[in-house]
Amino acid sequence: MPDLKERAARNRTVFLTDEEKQDLRGEIVFAPVGAQSTLINKVVCGDIFQVAGHIPKASVDLLFIDPPYNLDKKFNNNSFSRMDLKEYEKWMDSWLSMLLRILKDDASVYVCGDWRSSPAIYEVMSKYLYVHNRITWEREKGRGALRNWKNVSEDIWFGSPGRAYYFNPGAVKLKRKVVAPYRDPEGNPKDWDEAEGFRLTYPSNLWTDLTVPFWSMPENTDHPTQKPEKLLAKVILASSRPGDLVCDPFLGSGTTAVAAKKLGRRYLGVEIEEEYCCLAAKRLARADVDPSIQGYAGKVFWERNTGPKAGR
């Protein structure tokens, strides 16, 4: 499919040839999962309802869940149909309740949604987990509307099964241009670097520094709802340690696994569509060659369209 599309010369979208798909299938674990199969650092092709029971109990440090939102959406050969919010809540309950057994006591859980599905996410998460926060992130691009506000925000709910959980905000500081250059009584800059004109700030629950992958970014694929690697990097760095196991039961094009690998974590991803599993496998192979994450450099996150080299 995508290999036949005409693409502009600067288009860096990751696509698959039939030959590559054949090779990449060898990297994937296909359901039904055998008793001997190791799922660590693997992409598992299958239905999470079939696969979850094979993920070892109390093994996961960070569970990142980006389910189909409550919208009509086509995911390659599969479609998701919008349902009544109560039905969506029940559907969400069916997989979240099932995934609790794979969590370590001090694990963290993140669940993505939009303004419509957020009430259901809160209802279900608060039934089983301590809910700590709701992050809202700006998608930057959005479809204009004449009779409504353009929708450019999405939510990520953050919770944990226990009161104790790992959280490292120092690992996800944002480097921002100084807007208010305050000085102390001696005239020295307060919390900002005079030579650079930047300040390092602790992260809030409002993220405006992300860019949704598009055709000139090397992480881009044809997956319709791909998350930015930078978004996953924030979640992974704040809520896991090197070597921890990061699990994503709706892996899509592999973003969670790719960011986890680039940041030295172990990963386990489940995705029902073989095409997306192959894209994930290709991106994981590329991560060995290029472990960079756009927007994260020098152990800090940069504001959108800025970085250590360009656009200061």
Ligand X SMILES: C[S@@+](CC[C@H](N)C(=O)[O-])C[C@H]1O[C@@H](n2cnc3c(N)ncnc32)[C@H](O)[C@@H]1O
Q: Which residues here bind ligand X, judged by CB under 6 A?
A: 47-49, 66-68, 75, 78, 223, 225-227, 250, 252-253, 255, 270-273, 276
Residue 175 or 283 having the CB closest to ligand X: 283
Residue 89 or 271 having the CB closest to ligand X: 271
Contact assessment for residue 238 and residue 203, using Cβ atoms and an 8 Å cutoff: yes
Contact assessment for residue 280 and residue 43, using Cβ atoms and an 8 Å cutoff: yes
**Distance of closest approach, residue 131 Cβ to ligand X, in angstroms:** 21
**Distance of closest approach, residue 250 Cβ to ligand X, in angstroms:** 3
Residue of 114, 94, 117, 52 whose CA lies nearest to 272: 52
Residue 223 or 261 having the CB closest to ligand X: 223
Contact assessment for residue 99 and residue 52, using Cβ atoms and an 8 Å cutoff: yes
Residue 171 or 280 having the CB closest to ligand X: 280
**Distance of closest approach, residue 76 Cβ to ligand X, in angstroms:** 7
Position closest to ligand X via CB: 252
Name the β-bridge partners of 132. Answer: none
Q: How many CB atoms lie within 10 A of CB 19?
A: 9
**Distance of closest approach, residue 296 Cβ to ligand X, in angstroms:** 16
Q: How far is CA 284 from the centre of its chain?
A: 14
270 contact partners, CB below 8 Å, separation of at least 6: 43, 44, 46, 48, 51, 52, 248, 249, 250, 251
Residue 103 or 112 having the CB closest to ligand X: 112
**Distance of closest approach, residue 25 Cβ to ligand X, in angstroms:** 17
**Distance of closest approach, residue 15 Cβ to ligand X, in angstroms:** 14
**Distance of closest approach, residue 78 Cβ to ligand X, in angstroms:** 5
Distance separating alpha carbons of residues 191 and 72, to the nearest angstrom: 47
Residue 140 or 200 having the CB closest to ligand X: 140
Query: Kind and range of the H or E element at 198?
Result: strand 198-201
Scanning the chain, the segments in alpha helix (DSSP H) are: 18-25, 48-51, 85-99, 118-128, 229-239, 255-262, 274-289
Residue of 4, 48, 44 whose CA lies nearest to 27: 44
Residue 160 or 255 having the CB closest to ligand X: 255
Distance separating alpha carbons of residues 10 and 211, to the nearest angstrom: 18
